[in-house]
Amino acid sequence: MPTDATYEGTRARVEHYFDRTATKTWETLTSDAPVSKVRATVRAGRDRMRALMLSRLPADLTGLRVLDAGCGTGTATAELAARGAHVVAVDISPALVEIARKRLPAELADRVHFASGDMLDPTHGQFDHVIAMDSLIYYTAADIGTRLNDLSPRVSGKVVFTVAPRTPFLMTFFTLGKLFPRSDRSPVMIPHAPSTLARHVNGNLSEAGRITSGFYISSCLEHMA
């Protein structure tokens, strides 16, 4: 896979944030532990988005190979494996991968291969489907297009992924994030319009739905070569 400074630099910032700064926050957010009202809306939004993304794949995944690109603490990984998929679950954060490994029900362990590092590394092999929930939201349209185009020859079915939609609300946060950066804050999401992304992507790109839950606003997109 070709590299460029923009993609590699952003990936390094994402790794630092999730593996060092925010591990505990994400462990709590993706559990059933009590959280603040704001984080509760984010949790609810992520639950709805995960359900939407999984609904875009076949209900029966028996024997199919699925990449969970940016698996985080493994909630989607477990659901994919429960449907019968052989899942390659990859995250940039070794700490989150370890949480996902511990949370995975023992009866599903033989269906999941965990790895840390670049979620789109070609050495992960060929797939029937790919999901990438909230793991491409920090990248430019050009970077997303390059990665999807590189990934396409290795995927026979769908790539289902999320982006932050280009709404006035999110554009305000994006602008403020650029004007007032903080070292302890998560990497800045880059809002995208599907029509803009489509100019960078080979094949068909469509929007499957949008979830809004408090501060969680995300679009589910599908790509097929």
- Domain boundaries in the chain? 5-224
The two structure tokens encoding residue 148:
């999807």
pLDDT in tens, 16-64: 888 878 899 989 999 999 999 999 999 999 999 999 999 999 999 999 9
Please write the tens of the pLDDT for every residue from 172-190.
544 444 434 454 456 778 9
pLDDT band at 168 (very low <50, low <70, confident <90, very high): low
> Residues 60, 121: contact at Cβ < 8 Å?
no
State how far the alpha carbon of 197 is from the alpha carbons of 166, 214, 218, in Å: 11, 25, 15
Q: Which fold has domain 5-224?
A: Rossmann fold (3.40.50)
pLDDT band of residue 225 (cuts 50, 70, 90) is confident
For residue 203, which of 217, 224, 183 has the smallest C-alpha distance? 224
Going through the chain in order, the beta strands assigned E by DSSP cover 65-69, 86-91, 112-116, 129-132, 159-163, 204-213, 216-224
| Lateral strand order in the sheet of 65-69 | 112-116, 86-91, 65-69, 129-132, 159-163, 216-224, 204-213
- Three-state DSSP at 192 gives strand
pTM of this prediction?
Answer: 0.90
CB-based burial, 101-120: b 16+ in 10 Å, e otherwise: beebeeebeebbebbbbbbb
